[in-house]
Structure 1
């Protein structure tokens, strides 16, 4: 009898433990990801080859269950991040993922512009339509559109910018119906949406979406970047270096293994990113000899909001010291800073 009771207790405990594994806490766990060689992701038509390698670095992010949470408390270079620090409370998981993929696309376009300008190669952009970042749950678009859709026409009309798109819609009245053409998963679709007033926008009319311009960059020679499901803007600097290296005869790697991180603006400015200590770990694990870190400026406003904040460069130095790595941490403010350092290598 006692044996049967203990078996039942054990079964109940196992069921509870299994249930806890599937229950998601309002936190993410951030941990070191990978350092990925860029020549496998970036192909410039008839591009030059290098002796070394340039690598992007990533951070692994996942919703925490109780076990992830507990382990992150004791493991080095793992961090517990409140859900609200990662995405807006009103933003769904799908919208967050779509936004990260959009940031990656923007990062790639910026990197192409920076590299092609520096290499004195030609490029131009073409407008593809309006990219849907989010859909308001209580607005008419929620019945038709999803984050990641690309709207190409309204009432048979094409537009050259999201501003033209918005102006056209706002001239309508609540209750008016518009016909839209859009692309989802490479498939053309059409539908109609009845416009309505936004509850919190003082009578503003719309279909109920958050949007940005969707543009493609056309370059000569052609460059292709295959990032699959990698999201976010933090690979911008390393993309620009890899593209530039394939565009120019002089090998900037000079046989070294080089990793790094940082956003890139069209003017070549390198920007701050999150989780740089985990990226240092990933780069060191892959055997990188050099690591580029954004040397971003900490403003008084940032210091007031986050008293312990440091520049990415200082954070990377600290992580490297804790690791005991021989990898050199190099501060950069611009794309040209990175090239200037690489030109000193022998």
Structure 2
């Protein structure tokens, strides 16, 4: 083969590889992310320092091209998900990110509420409205509202929670109209929509949106959380423990590197998350001593049991601890001895 033909073939191959890497398949790839210390992210005024640390754990998620798809197929701790399992139909990147960030906001608010109540500190919330998280195709709001819109008033009524909004709409009949005042970016807008029966439940009417409360915590002492680059609700448990540790005297980490995951409900219940085995790998790579895993009341395929499988497989020295409530975590931490 002449040098000219060789170079031409090489260039064609490079172009084909480059172009094909930008051709995305209808799948997402998730892989182990990182375990990130929370003390630099969470700040309670006057809060105590810790000798150890609480860490949230993450997975890395991205759209699959042909190469990442093939790598994931051959990797034990990379997973493939159909696009429909991750994103709603016709959801844009911006809308997906908005939904993830508002889920994080809800997680933070629950964590603050639980931590302050456990520490015996005052906490309340200023309600600002409700956020649109998703819009259902074929319903009246489709094409009118977008994820991220903030609904300020409905029929000139200002609500303090998404439940009040749902209760108001639920008292009406199909064909009735409601008028919304909502904020999109810096501008206020209005929309008048006719209520319609849901396709999957003819006993209910609505405009076809899912909602999240927009509320700001009011605390003493004040707390701030820098989570702009983190989405989703899975760090709720670890946020709660970090806030509580800063609010109370002493150091409940006792010098250990404590990773974990799990959603946080306002009653202190810890809920399951996705990617638990990948988070075990991420925590082990960071050198964590302990990992808190949602126990889901001991069901056969709980996050905790899946975590044990991964921990055994990678031969980690981390202690995997089953957690159903934040009290379970606090009791565990109260019993362990200070790390030497």
**Which residue in the other structure is 2:308 paired with?**
317
Which residue of structure 1 lines up, in the alignment, with residue 30 of structure 2?
Answer: 30
Corresponding residue of 1:192: 191
8 A contact 1:144–1:193 mirrored in 2: no
Residue matched to 1:306: none
Give unmatched runs, 5+ long, in structure 1: 300-308
Count matched residues. Answer: 335
- For the Cα contact (< 8 Å) 2:297–2:324, is it kept in 1? no
Q: CA deviation at 1:329?
A: 1.7
Q: Distance in 2 between matches of 1:136 and 1:262?
A: 28
**Contiguous gaps of at least 5 residues in structure 2:** none
- The answer as to 2:331 corresponding to 1:340 is yes
**2:260, 2:54 → 1: CA distance?**
8
Equivalence for 1:304:
none
Question: Normalized against structure 2, the TM-score is what?
Answer: 0.86
Structure 1 residue 121, shift from structure 2 partner: 0.8
Q: Distance in 2 between matches of 1:160 and 1:78?
A: 42
1:343 aligns to what SS in structure 2? helix
Give CA deviations for 1:161-186 in whole Å, capped at 9, x if unaligned: 334434555648848573513253xx
Which residue of structure 2 lines up, in the alignment, with residue 219 of structure 1?
219
Q: What is the TM-score of this pair, normalised by structure 1?
A: 0.85
SS for the counterpart of 1:63 is strand
The answer to whether the 8 Å contact 1:178/1:195 transfers is no
Q: For residues 336 and 154 of structure 1, do their structure 2 counterparts lie closer, same or farther at Cα, with a shift above 3 Å needed?
A: closer
Across the aligned residues of Structure 1 and Structure 2, the Cα RMSD in angstroms comes to 2.9
Q: What is the CA–CA distance in structure 2 between the aligned matches of 1:141 and 1:325, rounded to whole Å?
A: 50
Shift of 1:153: 1.8
Q: Is the 8 A contact 1:128 1:214 kept in 2?
A: yes
Matches within 5 A, 1:103-114: 103-114=103-114
- Matching of residues 129-144 of structure 1 within 5 Å: 129-138=129-138, 141-144=141-144
Q: C-alpha distance in 1, partners of 2:223/2:47? A: 9
Give 3-state SS (helix, strand or coil) of 1:159's partner.
coil
Aligned to 1:180: 181
| Cross-structure match for 1:56 | 56
Counterpart mapping for 1:20-169 below 5 A: 20-89=20-89, 93-138=93-138, 141-166=141-166, 168=168
- Partner SS for 1:221: coil
Please say which of residues 60-69 and 270-279 is displaced more in the overlay. Answer: 270-279
Q: Equivalents in 2 of 1:256, 1:166: separation in Å?
A: 45
CA contact (8 A) 1:59 1:279 kept: yes
1:116-159 Cα distance to aligned partner (Å, 9 max, x none): 12111111123221210112455554444320111112354322
Superposed CA deviations along residues 57-115 of structure 1, whole A, max 9, x for unmatched, are 00111111100011112234112222233344465554443332222222111211221
